[in-house]
Amino acid sequence: MTDHTFIAEPGGALRGCIRVPGDKSISHRAIMFGALADGVTTVTGFLQGEDCLATLRAFRAMGVLIDGPDQGRIVVRGVGLRGLRAPAGPLDMGNSGTSMRLMSGILAGQAFDTVLTGDASLSRRPMRRVTEPLARMGARIKSAAQGTAPLRIRGGQRLTGIDYPLPVASAQVKSCLLLAGLYAEGVTRVTEPAPTRDHTERMLEGFGYPLARESDRTVAVTGGGRLTATDIDVPADISSAAFFLVGASLAPGSDLLLEHVGVNPTRTGVINILRLMGADVEILNPRLAGGEPVADLRVRHAPLRGIRIPETLVPLAIDEFPALFIAAACAEGETVLTGAEELRVKESDRIQVMANGLTALGITAVPTPDGIVIQGGALSGGTVDSHGDHRIAMSFAIAALRAAGPISIRDCANVNTSFPGFVALARSAGLTLREREAA
């Protein structure tokens, strides 16, 4: 097994105009909804990362004809809600929690049995948060003893809609239950403790499925409808843009334009948090693309200050915290995060792994059960371990812009799950970054 290492040299600035790859959350959903719709759906801007390709392969294995991807364009020939066929073997979701959780909802309503598997990281992630409410709807799903993958889903079950208050704010769980609700008798209603990304709701409406937004935290669907194919233009992923928003904020002399970024209000927590810290982020040319708000983001260097991050913003920035922890490390004063225990069950324990890495680079970072306390300071060079977590690998690469020496980041192969081409794009913007593989 090879160790894929990033080596980021210190200093530099981020300048120019770039477009990061397509939004991962929307790319997943575009395949799922296109496959389940009546008619042909054309998707542009599709993220050709490993996670989304796992979703694509799963639907091909269930008889859906999909052309591409070719430079971000795919054509999905939908089979309707009842048109999927039994796959020949288990469906491998790779590293993708989104794929596994959302597919559980779809597969719970099928007439055939399926097995969902994943890599070592995904096989440690909690799945009871979807299997338990699905069981209340009538699904029959067997997991491993710890409530993790593989998931064995029995087909031919009669699903019934439920009212479900989410114990934890999670767009993946909400989406899973809404997708199962398409196959259920009656109404499936989900209430969140805090708003989360609403790409599923927007896409249901885009595909012509009736949806009831009963409040800012409650959404409901009634089973028995149909999805009608539509074309989707996937915006650039704000989670991928976050590394460059942070990097340009930190590095003196930076002036960077990020094009066509999705600025769905359920995803802009990273912008709001950076602005609270003093960042100079402008939202330019706001517009709609396929029902999703997009804009160009201009970010220039500005001195950052530590803050207490409002808990209301945590679900709106949950994937961007590794990058935000780098901002906190370079800010003046103390940054305190609470209410973010969800970070401990991502691709890695992002609180502990980031704290370890920051400590190795000379920063005082103290983990707490639901967050972290970071004292801004001077980043040294050094070696950190990403533990196979793509967002942690990219965050420490960006940190080198303000480091005193080179930063070596181990175990970076999974960057391709969300951001193929990261090294080349980061170099084009001004980061001195190279890759090394060792046996």
Q: Active-site residue numbers?
A: 319
- Separation between Cα atoms, residue 51 and residue 28, nearest integer Å: 8
Tell me how far CA of residue 425 lies from CA of 122, 189, 392, in angstroms: 27, 42, 17
Helix H or strand E encompassing 294: strand 292-300
Round to whole Å and give the CA distance between 248 and 242. Answer: 10
- Cβ contacts of residue 298 below 8 Å, gap of 6+? 255, 256, 257, 258, 281, 282, 284
For residue 281, give the nearest of 312, 247, 307 by alpha carbon: 247
Q: Please tell me whether the peptide bond between 69 and the residue prior to it is cis, using omega within 30 degrees of 0.
A: yes
SS3 assignment, position 231: coil
Question: What tokens does 27 get?
Answer: 């790319």
Q: Are strands 371-375 and 212-213 parallel, antiparallel or unpaired?
A: unpaired
Residue 20 is given by DSSP the state P
3-state DSSP of 310-335: CHHHCHHHHHHHHHHHHHHHHCECEE
Strand partners, 219: 190, 213
Q: CA gyration radius for the chain?
A: 21
Instruction: For residues 398 and 401, give the distance between their C-alpha atoms in angstroms, rounded to a whole number.
Output: 6
Name the residue type at position 135: A
DSSP 59-72: HHHTT-EEEEEETT
Query: Any idea what DSSP says for residue 201?
Result: H
Residue whose C-alpha is closest to residue 190's, from 215, 216, 218, 159: 218
Token pair of 354 as six digits: 């980031």
Residue 147 CB neighbour total at 10 angstroms: 15
Q: Starting at the earlier edge strand, list the strands of the sheet with 255-262.
A: 15-18, 255-262, 292-300, 280-289
